[in-house]
Amino acid sequence: MAWLSAIALAGCSLTAAQPRADLQPPPPLAGEFFDPQTGTTYRLPTRAVLATRHAPRIVLAQAPSGGLDIPAAVALGAPPPQAHSVPTGTPAAVVAAPPPAAAPSALRLDHELASISRMVPFASSRSGLGPKGRQAVNELLPIAHEARQVVVRGRTDALGKPSSNRALAEARAQTVASAFVAAGVSRDKISTHQCVDCFVASNATAAGRRLNRRVDVEMNLPKARIAQLPRPVHALETPPLILARTLTPVSDTARH
């Protein structure tokens, strides 16, 4: 019996020393990791919970209304600018976004100056305004108020002596300029001139001489404003000048 007891005790000790396959390692504690290959347990420092860590926040700059605004450098293939991050451990902060690109300016009207030239008719040998002349001046007054510069040029036909025609042309220019000033147009922007051979029609006919007895009013305005002006009714557009040598000579016995 003694040897059976010894064998039983020895068998029990041998059996207790052998590991059992159904035994599982205890669940690791927080920060412990078990290697099943070697049966070794490692203890590592406990990591901070992700929710308590302060990660940098990046706020994308909002593009102006009308769609996504892609910088020119990015559009050309250049690397995008690096975002500035907030150091770890500091309170979360919003990264200052660059100011939005300025919205494209509205289309501007063309402010380049141009000029228009209109006619004020005069009766033969007269320097005062007749009914048609007053209608023409009244039609030009609103434009003259807007104009940057108003140039008034007196004209005559080819009848009469040149010296007399020059005085008549100058008197006609002064008449129109005075009418503008009396209506409130600034005198500083008005200039007067005269010409006795600036013809727009032949002096061989009555109709041609009637067109040559006039005052040309040239007004400087922005091109965009000129495009908005109504068509002339009484103060007609001045036709292109023609060379005096192409006109049929007429008698200079009367002033016109």
Tokens 């006039």 locate to: 214
Query: Low-confidence residues of the chain, pLDDT below 70?
Result: 1-34, 37, 42-111, 243-256
User: Within 10 A of 116 (CB to CB), how many other CB atoms are there?
Assistant: 19
Tokens 């209304």 locate to: 65
Is there a domain that residue 193 lies in?
yes
Q: 3-state DSSP call for residue 152? A: strand
Q: 3-state DSSP call for residue 139? A: helix
> How many independent structural domains does the chain possess?
1
- How far apart are alpha carbons 60 and 173 in whole angstroms? 68
Which residues have C-beta within 8 Å of that of residue 136, sequence separation ≥ 6? 118, 119, 120, 121, 234, 235
Is there a domain that residue 22 lies in?
no
Is there a domain that residue 51 lies in?
no
Instruction: Give the range of the structural domain holding residue 147, as residue numbers without chain letter.
Output: 113-246
- Phi, psi dihedral angles at 254 (to 5 degrees): -135, 155
- How far apart are alpha carbons 130 and 126 in whole angstroms? 9
Q: CA torsion sign, 56 to 61 to 67 to 72? A: negative
Q: What is the pLDDT at residue 152?
A: 98
Half-sphere exposure of 193 (CA within 13 A, CB side): 11
Q: What is the pLDDT at residue 112?
A: 87
Q: What is the pLDDT at residue 147?
A: 96
Is there a domain that residue 242 lies in?
yes
CB 42 within 8 A of CB 35: yes
CB 43 within 8 A of CB 32: yes
Q: What is the pLDDT at residue 36?
A: 72
Is there a domain that residue 32 lies in?
no
Q: 3-state DSSP call for residue 215? A: strand
Identity (one letter) of the amino acid at 20? R
Is there a domain that residue 175 lies in?
yes
What is the β-pairing status of strands 214-222 and 190-195? Answer: unpaired
Q: Kindly report the CATH number assigned to the domain that includes residue 141.
A: 3.30.1330.60
What is the β-pairing status of strands 149-155 and 190-195? Answer: parallel
Identity (one letter) of the amino acid at 181? V
Is there a domain that residue 208 lies in?
yes
Is there a domain that residue 27 lies in?
no
216: tokens are 């040309």
Q: What is the pLDDT at residue 87?
A: 54
207: tokens are 């109709």
Q: What is the pLDDT at residue 75?
A: 45
